[in-house]
Amino acid sequence: MNVGIVCYPTVGGSGIVATELAKALAQRGHEVRLISTEMPFRGPDFQVGLVFHPVQTPGYPLFREPQHLLSLANKIVQVSRGHHLDVIHAHYAIPHAAAAYLARQILANADGANVPRVITTLHGTDVTLIGSDSSYSETAAFCIDQSDGVTAVSERLRADTYQQLSVRADIRVIPNFLDCEIHRRSEDVALRARFTGDDDAVRLVIHVSNFRPVKRVEAVIDVFDRIRRRVPSKLLLVGDGPDLDRAGRRVRDLGLTGDVVQLGEQEQVVPLLSVADLFLLPSAQESFGLAALEAMACQVPVVASRVGGLPEVIDSGVTGYLHDPDDLDGMASSGVAVLTDPDRHRAVVAAGLTAVQQRFCANAIVPKYEAFYTEVLAREPVPAAR
Ligand code: GMT
């Protein structure tokens, strides 16, 4: 199949999932075209069957804002014409579903036959935060409905989409996934010693995110503060984003500078997760929580908020721990319990790893996307407007 995958290149789960899907589809013999403004974060090295098409958006003195939607739609049309795309798979509705819709209209009007089908994957904030904002809700709902197929990364996001947008499309749930060959614990003793100061008693707590407000990084620091009063520990902060400064301020205010290591944006998270003992994710919202899944795959127990799709990823008390977002004491208690009881730590880690291997590895999920493409291609296309 010829598949065009449209995604954001920036750090964020939707771009990572789209890129992993592109790599996996190419490995399985499909011709895949990755369409984005730049090579996505964790983008592929050279791989047969996978080509990157950058989107350029020229400025003009008259424009106060870049016309990205138009240049993206234009690029999709060109790639589709040049390479006979069967499917345009838009990851994150805004504005990718709109660009894909516009491209399909152009192709249908100009070329008639061989018009690719548009599939949109909803990732979370494209519905729950941005999509449902009254500045975008009408266009977001329209473009989602105009897709030939729609998927969501969790049951919760599917339900939220119907609740928050006037969408009628039949939404298929296909959960996120990992390349489980890559996401596996491989502990580097020297790296761990760098963070623990070679003190075996010190536990390593980690948080990986894009430091947006929805991640509640101050809550990460507050939970860590409660933990380190009871267990000697250090906190590794991995990532960058608008709230990194707030996190730094909170660290200073609480006098934790010596116990918190800021590692900035890191493309390779597996080595860091592999030395960690506990992952904190007290987000306000997570449609899925890919970061939690990555931690579980690397045998790190997760303490997270009971929000969005996280209960579909973490079975609280079995494969990790979920608490109400404001229950920072509860999160700290679960963290302390798992850090101070080696049997409990081993059991949670083993159950988490089994859950990942049974439900969330690429070999279980990528065929679901392939089957969905086939199903959508067999359906009547959404008629093009004239
Ligand atoms: O964190 C964000 O706001 C960005 C967004 C993204 O596109 O990366 O994350 C969402 O998509 C991920 C991949 O499907 C999910 O794992 C995240 O849970 C989801 N984030 C939120 O819902 C806040």
Confirm or reject: Cβ of 279 under 6 Å from ligand 1: no
Ligand 1 atom closest to residue 91's alpha carbon, by position in its atom list: 7
Would the CB of 17 count as within 6 Å of ligand 1?
yes
Determine the distance separating the centroid of ligand 1 and the alpha carbon of 205, expressed in angstroms. Answer: 22
Whether a cis peptide bond, with omega within 30° of 0, leads into 95 is: yes
Positive or negative torsion for Cα 226, 230, 232, 233: negative
The residues spanned by each domain of the chain are: 2-177+362-378, 189-359
The span from the CA of 119 to the CA of 87, in Å, is 7
Q: 125 C-alpha to center of ligand 1: Å?
A: 6
CA-closest candidate to residue 220, choices 243, 202, 197: 243
CA-to-CA distance for 354 and 339, rounded, in angstroms?
20
Q: What is the pTM of this model?
A: 0.95
Same fold, 2-177+362-378 and 189-359: yes
Written as one letter, the residue type at 271 is P
Q: Give domain 189-359's CATH number out of 3.40.50.2000, 3.40.50.300, 3.30.70.100, 1.25.40.10.
A: 3.40.50.2000
What are the pLDDT tens digits along the chain (386 aa)? 999 999 999 878 999 999 999 999 999 999 999 999 998 877 777 899 999 999 999 999 999 999 999 999 999 999 999 999 999 999 999 999 999 999 999 999 886 667 999 999 999 999 998 888 999 999 999 999 999 999 999 999 999 999 999 999 999 999 999 999 999 999 899 999 999 999 999 999 999 999 999 999 999 999 999 999 999 999 999 999 999 999 999 999 999 999 999 999 998 999 999 999 999 999 999 999 999 999 999 999 999 999 999 999 999 999 999 999 999 999 999 999 999 999 999 999 999 999 999 999 999 999 999 999 999 999 988 776 66
> For the chain, how long is the longest CA-to-CA vector?
70
Q: In the CATH hierarchy, which fold is given to the domain comprising 2-177+362-378?
A: Rossmann fold (3.40.50)
From CA 310, how far away is CA 262, in angstroms rounded? 25
* Dihedrals phi, psi of 285, to nearest 5 degrees: -155, 140
Which of 287, 293, 356, when mutated, tests ligand 1's pocket best, judged by the most ligand atoms within 8 Å of its CB? Answer: 287
- Which residue minimizes the CA distance to atom 4 of ligand 1? 12
Task: Please give the number of the atom of ligand 1 that sits closest to the Cα of 288.
Answer: 18
Instruction: Please state the atom number of ligand 1 nearest to the C-alpha of residue 291.
Output: 16
Structure tokens at 91: 């990851």
Spatial separation of the C-alpha atoms in residues 277 and 90, rounded to whole Å: 36
State the Cα–Cα distance between residues 343 and 364, nearest whole angstrom. Answer: 30
Token look-up 């990718």 returns 96
Of all protein residues, whose CA lies closest to atom 21 belonging to ligand 1?
A: 286
Distance 136 CA to ligand 1 centre (A): 18
Ligand 1 lined by 288 (C-beta under 6 Å)? yes
Please report, for the chain, how many H helices and E strands are present, in that order: 15, 13
